[in-house]
Amino acid sequence: MRILTSGESHGPAVVAIVDSVPSGMPLTAADVDRDLARRQAGYGRGGRMKIEKDSARFLSGVRNGLTIGSPVTLYIENRDHANWESAMSPEPGPAVEMQTKPRPGHGDLAGMLKYSTGDARNILERASARETAARVAAGAVARCLLKEIGVAVRSRVMSVGSASDERRGDLTEADFVRADADAMRCLDAEVSAAMMREIDEAAEQGDTLGGIFEVAVFGAPPGLGSHAQADRRLDAALCAALTSIPGVKGAEVGDGFSLGRARGSRAHDEIFYDERLLLHRKTNHAGGIEAGMSNGETVILRAAMKPIPTLGKPLATVDVADMSAAKAFKERADVCAVPAASVVGEAVVAFAVASAAQEKFGGDSLREMRRNVDGYLDQISSWWRPRGDA
């Protein structure tokens, strides 16, 4: 599956085109809107999310609740555009205010240099995380495909600022589902409260926060991705997907960075066999991926998001209009968007896993893909069995 998105933050809409979705797959706007609403939630968001109430409209690829094999185009209106019609008009018109004081940590300055513009708005409109609404919509399509082959993608927030839920490794899908009920998407109520306190403090001081979230893929069969070529490795694709989220600066698979400090005897997941579970592991330090291939255990990924670059108390910059020292410009912004980023994380991971599943199982129709999945599971059935059936 391939995806292209377009649309500026304050333009009329953001759009996603998803190519190579198999035909015959159940898909409705409600499937997409559920995830769009989850992306909009979370404590610490700014005023923009009060204006938007995201909802997807299919412009192509779906008929009567089923995909038809043509590109699926999803259109999400930007309600805030009504306040920006003249500033964002594609037609030439009266001069508009230019943003000449680039924010440290945002794409403003690098983009102004690269695209040869004195107005940071030409850059920030597209660098803005508004684009992630389109990717969440595309991720919802991928999620529907994965559901059909027994795979689910979940997330939770592990830390914000210094408040941290260190529990790892032994969480079930049902545990992850609980994250949806918490304003921080955190599984520990006390830690969640501490996160919100930190956000309040940061907001009072005109500051911002980042954090760490986890994404888990349940039910992935062994053999997604491949060791055979660098660009087919599943771990590489998933880390690329996570670091493509604005603000995400680090990604790890399984125990990731801490494996760099462990001994081999503690780092690897020994292999066992019994008649009930067949081949299985008792630990999952590898996060369900070995040599770029899913190994049949739960896929575990973590991502670190830096603090939001638009600060209430702006940082030092240079006004490029006259190269004088200045404070960076302010725009309505989130204080912390880690809960939203974790939902985006689910979407990009779902998309990458669905793409890997399509590479392995092919199929122009869902029926054909399912037949290929079933045939493969039958072929390995004396070695590996889906965990839900154990």
- The reply to whether 71 sits near ligand FMN by the rule CB under 6 A is no
Q: Are 165 and 195 in contact (CB under 8 A)?
A: no
Which listed residue (334, 342, 355, 366) binds ligand FMN by CB under 6 A?
334
CA 250 to centroid of chain Cα atoms? 13
- The reply to whether 245 sits near ligand FMN by the rule CB under 6 A is yes
Which listed residue (11, 102, 287, 309) binds ligand FMN by CB under 6 A?
309
From 81-89, 135-143, 194-202, 241-249, give the range in contact with ligand FMN by CB under 6 A: 241-249
How far apart are the C-alpha atoms of 233 and 230, rounded to whole Å? 6
From 94-102, 240-248, 270-278, 290-298, give the range in contact with ligand FMN by CB under 6 A: 240-248
Nearest one of 68, 40, 198, 251 to 132, comparing CA atoms? 40
Which listed residue (310, 317, 342, 355) binds ligand FMN by CB under 6 A?
310
Token pair 């979705």 is at which residue?
21
- The reply to whether 49 sits near ligand FMN by the rule CB under 6 A is no
How far apart are the C-alpha atoms of 103 and 354, rounded to whole Å? 36
Which listed residue (72, 158, 341, 354) binds ligand FMN by CB under 6 A?
341
Q: Which 3 state secondary structure label does DSSP give 386?
A: coil
Phi then psi for residue 203, to 5 deg, are -60, -45
- The reply to whether 194 sits near ligand FMN by the rule CB under 6 A is no
How far apart are the C-alpha atoms of 37 and 347, rounded to whole Å? 13
Size of the site for ligand FMN (CB under 6 A): 20
CA 274 to centroid of chain Cα atoms? 36
Q: Are 158 and 212 in contact (CB under 8 A)?
A: yes
From 64-72, 80-88, 244-252, 261-269, give the range in contact with ligand FMN by CB under 6 A: 244-252
Token pair listed for 372: 């290929």
Which listed residue (127, 236, 278, 377) binds ligand FMN by CB under 6 A?
127
- The reply to whether 221 sits near ligand FMN by the rule CB under 6 A is no
Write out the residues near ligand FMN by the rule CB under 6 A. 46, 106-107, 127-129, 132, 245-247, 306, 308-310, 333-334, 337, 340-341, 344
